[in-house]
Structure formats: C-alpha cells, structure tokens
Amino acid sequence: MILYLNILVALTAGIALVNVALLISLLTIYARIYKKTKGASLLLTLIFFAGMLILHNLIAVYTYFAMESLYSRFAAGNTFS
C-alpha cells in the first residue's frame, strides 16, 4: 500500500509538471499572437488565465512533494498524533 501511494503521488506530480510545460508553451504562443495583433483584449485574458493555471499546477506539485512523507505515514497505518 505504501509503495502504491508513493508511486501515485510521484505520477500525479509528474503529470502536473508536464501540464506546466504545456501551459508555458501555450502562454508563449499567446504572447506571440498578442505582440502581432498589437493588443487584443481577449488574448490578455487568455494569457492571464494560462498564467493562473501554471501557478495552480506549480502549487500542486509543491504540495505533492511537501506532503509525501505524510501520505507515506498515513498509508503505513501510523497516526498523525
């Protein structure tokens, strides 16, 4: 059970990191289009939204790694007291 939970946490963090990489590429595409169109407000909204998704995923990855020891202890049957 402990091994399964550790693998699951690592896999989830890996997927979130891949998601961050895809969002960064999407953000650069939006920024290039924004420069070419000289200020479309829709693109500013898309850039802001992509930035918030990147921030969300980075916080999630940090949380997965910071809480991994707690997940392991919980899976081993130890209590948090």
Q: What is the pTM of this model?
A: 0.73
Q: Is residue 52 part of a domain?
A: yes
Q: Is residue 81 part of a domain?
A: no
Over its length of 81 residues, how does the chain's per-residue pLDDT go in tens digits?
Answer: 556 777 888 888 899 999 999 999 999 999 999 889 887 888 889 999 999 999 999 999 898 888 877 766 665 555 555
Cα–Cα nearest to 2, from 80, 71, 79, 78: 71
Which residue segment(s) compose the domain that 54 sits in?
2-75
Dihedral angle over CA of 42, 43, 47, 48, nearest 10: -20
Q: Is residue 80 part of a domain?
A: no
Q: How many domains, in total, are found in the chain?
A: 1
Dihedral angle over CA of 15, 17, 22, 25, nearest 10: -170
Q: Is residue 7 part of a domain?
A: yes
Backbone angles phi, psi at 38, to 5 degrees: 60, 45
